[in-house]
Structure 1
Amino acid sequence: MSDPAPHDWRLAYSRRLSLTDFIVIAIAVASTQFLWFGFSANGVAFRGNLDFLAVSYTTVSIVLTLSWTAILGIYGSRGDRLIGTGVSEYRLVVDSSFRLFGVFAIISFLFQIDFSRGYFILAFPLGTIALVIERWLWRKWLTTRRSRGEYSAKVLLVGSETSVLHTATELARRPQAGYHVVGACVASGRVADYLPGTTIPVAGNVDRVAQAIAATGADTIVITSSDELSPEKIRELSWSLEPGRQHLVVAPSLTDIGGPRIHTRPVAGLPLIHVETPRYEGFKRYQKRIFDFLASGLLILLLAPVLLIISGVIRLSTPGPVLFKQERVGLNGSTFKMLKFRSMVTDAEALMVHLEATERAEGNAVLFKMKDDPRVTRVGRVLRKYSLDELPQLFNVLRGDMSLIGPRPPLQREVDLYESHVHRRFLMKPGITGLWQVSGRSDLSWEDSVRLDLYYVENWSMVGDFIILLKTVRAVFASSGAY
């Protein structure tokens, strides 16, 4: 597929989604009709209290396919502000499908139409699952293109040098979001220069935004700080933008805030952004604990044969205990004994002093990690590669010391090196897995590890926990960053 022109990639991508949505829905609905009625579906008719409603299920399938495709567009599931990142796109696909089948249910009730319940009960989940998979495949394709700067908004950053650099760094972390920075206008106004440590050109000062837009071809202007721009100047800038082609975005100084905590409310012409304070008590905490207890108990029962096999292999392969117990810091700074299958030699803790002295540690400045740690046994390398050594932590979860998902459980010597803000990670129980597990594990820098843990603590939700669990399965099989 050839690239669309710079100004119409949004429309081109939306059209491709519309086409594939239609194809996926048509296949799902046709398959349902065949599975439920066989080849005789054309002759099968339903009747209500109105004679003219007697039609074949082939006609129903056509109407359903067209209606389903249309409602996905009506509810904005193909909008360029949703695609590429987050769960909003998937949520809209599911919500739109629910609403459509709700409409069919209401119509059948009001007009007493004798629909085949099995036909619709089968068509709904089959079509919805197929649509989510289709959107996921498109997202993978889009992420690849956006990593090369294609199919993205061309962003001109406007503000102080510090705020512009910070925003550019954060946007570069997630190219799949579709914001490709092509230039900047800063207060210092350094012309023919670059932002420090980047290849982003500085196109002038904040008074030359219009010229910078023309020079860079930007279609999205992101204001990172308004100290250099008066309200009147920002308003005039918004008026000067070409409607439908150029967009204005205001980026507040807050970072690492999850979408559900943000609410925008216009008051007296002011776009006020309300950021909810995270809460760590009440029903949400009980909900998480109930899920942890039930899930860990079920997993222990299902994995009992695996646990026994691993225990036997460790016992027969190397001398020493099967389990390794280590004191870790958990909720509110309390300590507990974390369980793991032993993957190292028995005197591993004593040997670490020598290894740290030789400065062979890898990973980051606070956590001691080595890719080729000589203390790890042959069996231990396999266990670590697929995170099997962490399975005994299910008993920590069952007991209430840990959660299935949460921040990484640290050692006391690591906590002693924490800056004050890092202690916020103790507001929640540590987890067997978490954002750090699905984002690189030991390959992460210390700053990224802290950022991910704090982001989770500030924005956690049960939906987010389920997504992390699904990503954990992929991360375990990929075994990237596991050592």
Structure 2
Amino acid sequence: MPGPYRTRRRHGKHSGHSAHRTYGDKAAWYLPLAISLDALGIGVPGLLLLRHTRQPHPLLCALVAAALWTALRAVRRRYTADVLGETRGVLAALTDWLVLLGMLAVLRTACGEIVRPVVALAGVALGPLLTMAGTNLTQRHLISDRRSAQAVRRVLVIGEPSTADHVVGHLAARTEHAYVVVGVVPVGNAKLECGAPVTARLGSVEPRNPTDDGAAVLGAARELHAELVLVAPGPRLSADRLRRLVWALHDAQTQVAILPGLVDVAPRRLQLDAPAGLAMLHIAPPLRHGLQVWLKSAADRAGAAFGLLLLAPLFALVALAIRATSPGPVFYKHTRYGQNCTPFLMWKFRTMVVDADARKADLERTGANENDGLMFKMRRDPRVTRVGRVLRRYSLDELPQLVNVLRGEMSLVGPRPPLPDEVARYDKTEVRRLAVRPGITGLWQVSGRSDLSWDETIKLDLRYVDNWSFTADVDVMARTLRAVVDGRGAY
């Protein structure tokens, strides 16, 4: 089928495969796993600690704490089918844990002095860790399922052809989400480029019969077994026409979603309002000030200082290896651009021959650059030394940048620090990646590094810049270890 459209059919009633037990569109074991880990993560450590410290009524206290924890998470909708497996849940687990501590404190006060505060705190400390581990497991399983066309929802897209093409291409480009486009109902008579099946077409003129649009879309949805109708409003789909269409779909028990036209905006930044009955979507600005920014700065400097002390022996070994195998200095320093286009001197272990910069122009003239954008990348760069290849494979050449982090010029997590000649060719979109401090690691490194195209790199950086949060940094740091061990895209 032409264009970016890809068919992914889920196992179950429309795919021809034998159905299996599910929770919503997901594996049935997600729910019992989540509840069991939550209950055991609070109950078992609490029971063992209470018995060891000879606290009164250890079994009763452990059961009450486990029941409170699972009940709290159920009330806060952590077990619903649309939530399980969708996020890593770091912030959710921590906030729930803090609420649990408050509830236990109130219960302790109401029932008298039953358990010492320190013992109670230690007893429930493992709970959120097991919760996050279970969430991570289900998310990895869910992503794997979706890559093999399972646990997805069949979607019918409605919109003007250019918008429909964009929506279909955007959803087809990634597979970790729950939506697979099975068809398009174009508004107007222009040609579709996406290659998706078209079983109905809405004219560009307002229909005289209010049920015309609904009948056409419902017919297409039933023919394609669509579970969701995704509407992209435009000039030919007025508010009143859209309203009647939604009425018709809802009367037929068909789910409807509206695309606002936003790209790469984290859900936590969105807030829905309806002044005078008019649906309005508020978008919170990116975090640039406040407690989370202060925490990031403090964690950066503390982490850099600790890392420099801990890795001092490794620094010495790498320095000896570089000096023994290649003439020239151990460190390579180069001007890079940081936050708000501020230049700084970035440090790395030298992985190339001494005259590497001078030879770069000759390689560019011969078309050796394998990157499709402003970066220069070669899989087998002749300027890289033997030791340099090992250092790049495991990202050890980046470690001296901890000095830049300690000086406040870089962060542990952030976009890749660009070269001056790259910044000179940036457009207004690409310059936005310099709104935050560059990092030693980031979404670029954990998502494929040099294997990514320039456009993919920019999209990842802008997603980080606009949607940054402290918990997102923690997630990237955790994923960095796996990316370094895997070594994919490191050259």
Q: Structures share a fold, TM > 0.5? A: yes
Does 2:108 match 1:108?
Answer: yes
> What letter matches 2:124 in structure 1?
F
Deviation at 1:370, TM superposition (A): 0.8
| Separation in 2, partners of 1:305, 1:337 | 24
Q: Quote the residue 1:482 is aligned against.
A: 490
Q: Does 2:354 align with 1:338?
A: no
| Residue 340 (structure 1) shift | 0.9
Matched to 1:24, the amino acid is: L
Higher relative contact order (CA 8 A, sep 6+): 2
- CA contact 1:324–1:342 (8 Å) conserved in 2: yes
Comparing 444-453 with 394-403, greater Cα deviation is found at 394-403
- TM-score, length basis structure 2: 0.85
Moved more, 359-368 or 113-122: 113-122
1:457-476 alignment, distance < 5 Å: 457-476=465-484
Determine helix, strand or coil for the equivalent of 2:125.
helix
Contact persistence 1:311–1:322 (CA under 8 A):
yes
Partner of 1:446: 454
Post-superposition offset of 1:26: 4.5
In structure 2, what is the Cα distance between the partners aligned to 1:285 and 1:12? 37
Indicate if the aligned counterparts of 1:22 and 1:65 stay in contact, CA closer than 8 A.
no
- Distance of 1:205 and 1:157 partners within structure 2: 11
Is 1:405 the counterpart of 2:405? The answer is: no
* Structure 2 Cα separation of the partners of residues 59 and 290 of structure 1: 41
State the Cα distance separating 1:444 from its structure 2 match. 0.8
What is the alpha-carbon distance in structure 2 between the residues aligned to residue 201 and residue 360 of structure 1?
41
Q: Secondary structure at the match of 2:72?
A: helix
Cα-to-partner distance string for 1:111-157 (whole Å, 9 max, x where unaligned)? 32624656643442222211221121111111111122321222111
Q: 1:361 aligns with which of 369, 389, 400?
A: 369
Establish whether residue 293 from structure 1 lines up as the match of residue 301 from structure 2.
yes
Question: Is the 1:406–1:432 Cα contact (8 Å) retained in structure 2?
Answer: yes
Deviation at 1:259, TM superposition (A): 2.6
Q: Which amino acid aligns with 2:300?
A: D
Equivalent position of 2:313 in the other structure: 305
SS in structure 1 of the partner of residue 126 of structure 2: helix
Report the equivalent of 2:74. Answer: 73
User: Do the aligned partners of 2:47 and 2:59 also contact (CA within 8 Å) in 1?
Assistant: no
- Indicate conservation of the 8 Å contact 1:14/1:79, yes or no: no
Task: Assess, with a 3 A threshold, how the Cα gap between structure 1 residues 69 and 420 changes in structure 2: closer, same or farther.
Answer: closer
CA-CA distance at 1:318 after TM superposition: 0.9
Name the counterpart of 2:121. 121
| Distance in 1 (alpha carbons) for counterparts of 2:277 and 2:479 | 42
Correspondence 1:272-283 to 2 at 5 A: 272-278=280-286, 280=288
Mapped partners of 1:217, 1:457: distance in 2: 39
Alpha-carbon distance between aligned partners in 2 of 1:137 and 1:244, rounded to the nearest angstrom = 37
Q: 30-39 or 74-83: which moved more?
A: 30-39
Q: Which amino acid aligns with 1:423?
A: V
- 1:68, 1:136 → 2: CA distance? 19
The structure 2 residue matched to 1:201, chosen from 194, 197, 217, is 197
Contact 1:14 1:78 in 2 (8 A): no
Q: 1:222 to 1:426 in 2, by over 3 A?
A: same
Residue in 2 aligned with 1:31? 44
2:201 partner letter:
N
Identify which range, 56-65 or 417-426, moves more after superposition.
56-65
Pairwise CA distance, 1:80: 3.8
Which residue matches 1:99?
99
CA distance 1:230–1:308, change in 2 (3 Å): same
- Residues 246-283 of structure 1 deviation map (CA, whole Å, 9 limit, x = unaligned): 32211112212223322211211122111133364576
Contact 1:296/1:397, CA 8 A, preserved across alignment = yes
Shift of 1:38: 5.5
Name the CA shift for 1:27/1:284 in 2 (closer, same or farther; >3 Å).
Answer: closer
Quote the Cα distance in structure 2 between the aligned partners of 1:73 and 1:428: 37
Q: Distance in 2 between matches of 1:312 and 1:245?
A: 70
Offset from partner CA, 1:390-421 (integer Å, 9 cap, x none): 11111122223222222211112222332232
Q: Name the % identity.
A: 34
2:140 aligned partner: 140
Alpha-carbon displacement from aligned partner over 1:425-445 (angstroms, at most 9, x marks no partner):
222222212221111110111
Cα contact 2:90–2:471 (8 A) shared by 1: no
Q: Deviations over 1:91-113 (max 9, x none)?
A: 33443444344323312211326
Shift of 1:37: 5.3
1:17 maps to what in 2?
Answer: 30
Which has the larger helix fraction?
Answer: 1
SS in 2 for 1:71: helix
Q: Which residue of 2 aligns with 1:53?
A: none
Gaps of 5+ in 1: 47-55
Deviation at 1:479, TM superposition (A): 1.1
Q: 1:396 aligns with which of 398, 404, 410?
A: 404
Equivalent residue letter for 1:136: N
Distance of aligned partners of 1:26 and 1:407 in 2 relative to their CA distance in 1, 3 Å threshold: closer
Structure 1 residue 72, shift from structure 2 partner: 2.4
Residues 24 and 134 of structure 1 are in contact (CA less than 8 Å); yes or no, is this contact kept in structure 2? yes
SS at match of 1:368: coil
| 1:244 to partner: Cα distance | 11
Identify if the C-alpha distance between structure 1 residues 80 and 27 changes in structure 2 by more than 3 Å, giving closer, same or farther: closer
| 1:355 partner SS | helix
Residues 421, 227 of structure 1: CA spacing in aligned structure 2 closer, same or farther, 3 A cutoff?
A: same
Is the CA contact 1:84–1:176 (under 8 Å) kept in the aligned structure 2?
no
For 1:137 and 1:93, the matched residues in 2 are separated by 15
- Alpha-carbon contact 1:4-1:12 (below 8 Å) kept: no
Deviating more after overlay: 201-210 vs 407-416: 201-210
Q: Please give the alpha-carbon distance, in whole angstroms, between the structure 1 residues aligned to 2:95 and 2:295.
A: 24
SS at match of 2:155: strand
| Matched-pair contact (CA < 8 Å) for 1:171–1:179 | yes
Task: Tell me, in whole angstroms, the C-alpha distance in 2 between the residues paired with 1:14 and 1:91.
Answer: 24
Would the alpha carbon gap of residues 4 and 137 (structure 1) be closer, same or farther in structure 2, given more than 3 Å must change?
Answer: farther
CA apart distance, 1:240: 2.9
Stretch of structure 1 that moved more, 252-261 or 58-67: 58-67
- Measure the CA separation in 1 of the matches of 2:349 and 2:287: 34
Is the Cα–Cα contact under 8 Å of residues 32 and 119 in structure 1 kept in the other structure?
no
Structure 1 residues 72 and 173 mapped into 2: Cα distance closer, same or farther (>3 Å)?
farther
Contact 2:368 2:378 in 1 (8 A): yes
Is the CA contact 2:39–2:69 (under 8 Å) kept in the aligned structure 1?
A: no
CA contact (8 A) 1:280 1:427 kept: no
1:332 and 1:426 in contact (8 A); partners too: yes
**Equivalent residue for 1:213?**
221
Cross-structure match for 1:51? none
* SS class of match (2:430): helix
TM-score, normalised relative to structure 1: 0.87
Structural mapping, 1:171-250, within 5 Å:
171-188=171-188, 196=193, 198=194, 200-206=196-202, 207=213, 208-241=216-249, 246-250=254-258
